[in-house]
A and B are shown apart, each in its own frame.
Chain A
C-alpha cells in the first residue's frame, strides 16, 4: 500500500498554548461533516507545506476517540529539530487548511487486559489522553503514572489530576520525584498490561525491569516514534524508478524519495512500523541504521534500510525502489 493512508482535508479551528513548550491544535473537517471515530493510541500524519518542502509528521490524536467533530493534537516545540514542530508553532494559524491522514494505530490497547497501567514521560502523555477517554467510556480500569520536569511544563497535569484524581500519579523530576518502578510493577494484579510512551531511556528502563520481573512480552506495550535526524548529504540511485536523488542534510531518505515523486510506502515515519522497509541492491559505504525494525542480522547483511529514519555515508547506494 503506497503513500500511507487515505487523506482528510481539515481546517485548523483552534490553537491553544498549553505551556511554553507545547501548543494544541484542533482540526475540523473542511466544509463540515464528521471525522472517523478511532481507537485510543492512534496517530495522524500531518502534512505541512513549508515553502518548497513538504513535511509529514506523525502526531498522536489526543481527543476523545468517539468525538467526530474534531481531532486535537499537541506539538512540543523542538528548537533543534528539523523544523516540523517549529513550522506548527510559528507558521500555522487558525483558519489554515491542512491535510491529515486517516487515523492509524500502532499503539493499541489490548482489550483483554484486566487493568491498563500507563507510564508516560513528557509529551508521551498524548496517546494516553485518548486511551483514557476510551477506557472511561468502556468502564475499564486504568492507572496512570506520569513523569514531567515540573508543573510549568507538565502538559495536562491539572486536567488529569482533577478528572481522574484516583487514577493519576504525577512525578516532578525537578523535585527529585521518580516512579518506584519495581514497587509499582510488583503490586499489580494478574492480567495487568503495561503501556509506555516517552523518551527512549524510559521505555528501555520499564521494558527491561518488567521483563526481568517475569512479565510476559505480550503484556508490555510501548510507542516510540523517532524523529529523523539530520546528517551528511548523500546520493542514492533508485533502480525501479531509474532516478538518482540527493538526500539533503536536514531531509530523510523517505522525504527525498517523495520529493522526487517516487511512490514509497510508509505509516509511522518513525522507524517503528516496518512499512517503508526497502531492499538494498548494492552499496559501498556505511549504513546509519536508526530504526527499531531491522534486527542485528538484517543490519549486518546490508540488504535492508528503513528510509524514514536511517541514512548512509559512502561512495554509492542503489535501492530497489
Chain B
C-alpha cells in the first residue's frame, strides 16, 4: 500500500493519532505478562510483512509530521544535533546506509542515483531533490549526519568504538525519553547508562556492551524498549522538562485513556563500514491507551505489567505518581483471561 502521510502535531494542540493501520502494526514490547530488564537482542534482518521490523528504516504515516517537529526542535536548540570532529566519516557512512536502504526498501518514495561520487538523492514525500558529492561536506546544506537525519524518523546516536568501549561522539536526538545528547556527548557506554537503576547490579550493561562491540558489518541487531508519556510528545527532553513535566499532573480518571501513551522504542544497531563506528537508531512509536486496549491481549497484558512493575522502574520511567490511575483504567480491560506468548495480537 502507499502510505497516507498525516498532518498532525506533537505539541500544543496534540492532534497526533494512529490510524487502524498504525495500531495493527504497533510494536507492542511485552512478550509475556511481566517485565524485567534483559539484553533482548535479535537479528535485524527483516520481519513479518507490514510490521515495523520489515524494513531497515521503517517509514510510516507520521513521517512528515515527525520531520516537521524535528525541525522545530532544532530551530529552538541546535545542540540537539552534534558531531565531534572525528565522527564526520561515520556521518557519511550513515548517510549512505540510510539512502541505500530507503531507496531499495521504498523505491516509490526515495531514489538514489550514483555515478562515482556524484550522487543525486530524491525524497519525494519531503519534496527534496539534491545533487552532491559523496564525502565532500561543502556540497550539502548540513553535515552528512544532520542532512540525512533531518529526513529520517527516530533519534540517532553514533558511537565511536575504541578501547573496548563505545563513545557517544555524535547524534541527532529530538524524540528522546528524557535524556540529553548535549549532556552525554563524549561519554562512554557505562557513563551514559549510569542513571539506570538495577541494571548495573544485574550485569546487564557488561553483557550488552560485549554484544554491541561484536556487531559486525552486514549483521545488524535490534531490541525494543519502552516508557510512558503523557500527551503525544516526541520531545520529552531534560532541556524542556519545565514545559512537559507539568503535563504529567494533568492526568485525570476521565482523560487517562486519551492522554496517557505507551512509548515504545525500536532500537537498532548497525556497524558502519568506513569508520567502524556503530549507529544506534532509536525509533519512537506512540500509542494512546484507548487505542492500545482495542487489542484485547495488549490491554490485559499491559495492565499486569504496570501493576507488577518494581517501584524503582516505575520511578525511573517517570510515571510512579500516575501509576494508580493508569492501573485503574487498564484494569477495566483485564478480565483475567490467560494471554498467549509473544507480542502479536491473537
B298–chain A nearest beta-carbon distance, Å: 31
The one of B86, B215, B217, B274 in contact with A112, judged by C-beta atoms closer than 8 angstroms, is B86
A267 to B276, CA, bound (A): 15
Chief secondary structure at chain A's binding surface: loop
Q: Which of B97-143 contact A (CB under 8 A)?
A: none
Q: Mask for B204-217, Cβ within 8 A of A = 1, else 0?
A: 00000011001111
Q: Which of A65-107 contact B (CB under 8 A)?
A: 65-66, 102-105
- Cross-chain contact B214 with A36 (CB below 8 angstroms): no
Q: Mask for B10-29, Cβ within 8 A of A = 1, else 0?
A: 00000000000000000000
- Cross-chain contact A267 with B214 (CB below 8 angstroms): yes
- Cross-chain contact A5 with B218 (CB below 8 angstroms): yes
A18–chain B nearest beta-carbon distance, Å: 27
Taking CB as reference atom, which chain A residue is nearest B45?
Answer: A6
Number of chain B residues close to chain A: CB under 8 A: 20
B239–chain A nearest beta-carbon distance, Å: 27
- Cross-chain contact B218 with A111 (CB below 8 angstroms): no
- Cross-chain contact A134 with B274 (CB below 8 angstroms): yes
Most central of B86, B163, B219, B274 by chain A CB within 10 Å: B274
- Cross-chain contact A6 with B89 (CB below 8 angstroms): no
Given contacts A37-B274, A111-B86, contact A218 B162 (CB under 8 A): yes
Q: Mask for A1-18, Cβ within 8 A of B = 1, else 0?
A: 100111000000000000
- Chain A hits for B162, CB < 8 A: 108, 110, 218
- Chain A hits for B160, CB < 8 A: 111
- Cross-chain contact A36 with B217 (CB below 8 angstroms): yes
The one of A36, A105, A134, A274 in contact with B218, judged by C-beta atoms closer than 8 angstroms, is A36
Taking CB as reference atom, which chain B residue is nearest A105?
Answer: B276
Given contacts A37-B273, A39-B274, A65-B274, contact A5 B219 (CB under 8 A): yes
Taking CB as reference atom, which chain A residue is nearest B41?
Answer: A1
- Chain B hits for A103, CB < 8 A: 217, 273
- Chain A hits for B225, CB < 8 A: none
B9 at the A interface (CB under 8 A): no
A156–chain B nearest beta-carbon distance, Å: 23
Most central of A112, A267, A274, A275 by chain B CB within 10 Å: A112
- Cross-chain contact A111 with B89 (CB below 8 angstroms): yes
Number of A-B pairs whose CB atoms are under 8 Å? 63
Number of chain A residues close to chain B: CB under 8 A: 29
Q: Which of B62-111 contact A (CB under 8 A)?
A: 85-87, 89
B161 at the A interface (CB under 8 A): yes
- Cross-chain contact B217 with A102 (CB below 8 angstroms): yes
A315 to B211, CA, bound (A): 34
B275 at the A interface (CB under 8 A): yes
- Cross-chain contact A138 with B217 (CB below 8 angstroms): no
Taking CB as reference atom, which chain A residue is nearest B273?
Answer: A37
- Chain A hits for B163, CB < 8 A: 217-218
- Chain B hits for A108, CB < 8 A: 161-162, 276
- Chain B hits for A4, CB < 8 A: 216
- Cross-chain contact A6 with B275 (CB below 8 angstroms): no
A59 at the B interface (CB under 8 A): no
Most central of B210, B218, B274, B276 by chain A CB within 10 Å: B276
A273–chain B nearest beta-carbon distance, Å: 8
B99–chain A nearest beta-carbon distance, Å: 14
A36 to B215, CA, bound (A): 15
- Cross-chain contact B86 with A102 (CB below 8 angstroms): no
B260–chain A nearest beta-carbon distance, Å: 38
Given contacts A138-B89, A218-B162, A218-B163, contact A111 B217 (CB under 8 A): no
A146 at the B interface (CB under 8 A): no
Q: Mask for B186-217, Cβ within 8 A of A = 1, else 0?
A: 00000000000000000000000011001111
- Cross-chain contact B218 with A275 (CB below 8 angstroms): no
- Cross-chain contact B276 with A39 (CB below 8 angstroms): yes
A217 to B163, CA, bound (A): 9
B100–chain A nearest beta-carbon distance, Å: 11
A38 at the B interface (CB under 8 A): yes
- Cross-chain contact B86 with A39 (CB below 8 angstroms): no
A4 to B216, CA, bound (A): 9
- Chain A hits for B210, CB < 8 A: 274
A273 to B210, CA, bound (A): 10
Taking CB as reference atom, which chain B residue is nearest A39?
Answer: B276
List 11 contacting pairs A-B, 8 Å CB cutoff, sorted by A: A1-B219, A4-B216, A5-B219, A38-B274, A65-B273, A103-B273, A110-B86, A111-B87, A218-B162, A267-B214, A274-B210
| Besides A36-B217, A39-B274, A65-B273, 19 other A-B contacts (C-beta < 8 A) | A1-B215, A4-B216, A5-B218, A6-B216, A6-B217, A6-B219, A36-B273, A38-B274, A39-B273, A39-B275, A39-B276, A102-B218, A103-B273, A108-B276, A110-B162, A111-B86, A218-B162, A273-B214, A274-B210
